[in-house]
Amino acid sequence: MKPYKNKINRIRSFALALIFLGVVIMYIGIFFRSNEIVMLIFMTLGFLSIIASTVVYAWIGTLSTRAVQIQCPSCGRHTKMLGRVDMCGHCREPLTLDPSLEGKEFDVSYNRPQKQTVKSTDDTK
């Protein structure tokens, strides 16, 4: 059992969950028709949740353009990966862009030091 999922897939399911949440909240609001203020609060919350998911979807779009498309060595299908380590979107095979991490056990924390080095090179500019 591999605990991690492909990042883009994970964000996508999060956005989908937000849409469902928004619809459910708005649906609950209908039950409070007698109380206009409560209904309005539920409707606003539901609407905000749907707006948030739209924002997340737009964010995935930006991430996807930056993501590296590679062919998965395990299942042979093409998948997009983010950061230094990620999971194959089809078979959850751990993938890495860093040859020094090859063969090592998958760990999401490998993404963190890379972010720090990017930051420090920016500072020297």
Q: Does 10 bind Zn ion (CB under 5 A)?
A: no
Distance CA 37, CA 22 (A): 18
Q: Supply the minimum distance, in Å, between the C-beta of residue 93 and Zn ion.
A: 4
Buried b or exposed e, range 84-109, using 16+ CB within 10 angstroms:
bbbbbbeebbbbbeeeeeeeeebeee
Position among 56, 85, 87, 88 found at the interface with Zn ion (CB under 5 A) = 88
| Residue from the set 90, 96, 97, 111 that interacts with Zn ion by CB under 5 A | 90
How many amino acids of this chain bind Zn ion (CB under 5 A)? Answer: 7
Instruction: For the CB of residue 74, give the shortest distance to Zn ion in the complex, in Å.
Output: 5
70 belongs to the binding site for Zn ion (CB under 5 A): no
Type of residue at 38: V
Instruction: Tell whether residue 12 is a contact of Zn ion (CB under 5 A).
Output: no
26 binds Zn ion (CB under 5 A): no
**Alpha helix locations (H) across 1-125?**
7-30, 36-66, 111-124
CA gap 17, 6 in Å, rounded: 16
User: Is residue 74 at the binding interface for Zn ion, with CB under 5 A as the rule?
Assistant: yes
Q: Which stretch binds Zn ion (CB under 5 A): 20-28, 58-66, 86-94, 104-112?
A: 86-94
Note every long-range contact of 118-124, with CB atoms under 8 Å and residues 24 or more positions apart, other chains counting.
Answer: none
Interface ranges with Zn ion (CB under 5 A): 72, 74-75, 88, 90-91, 93
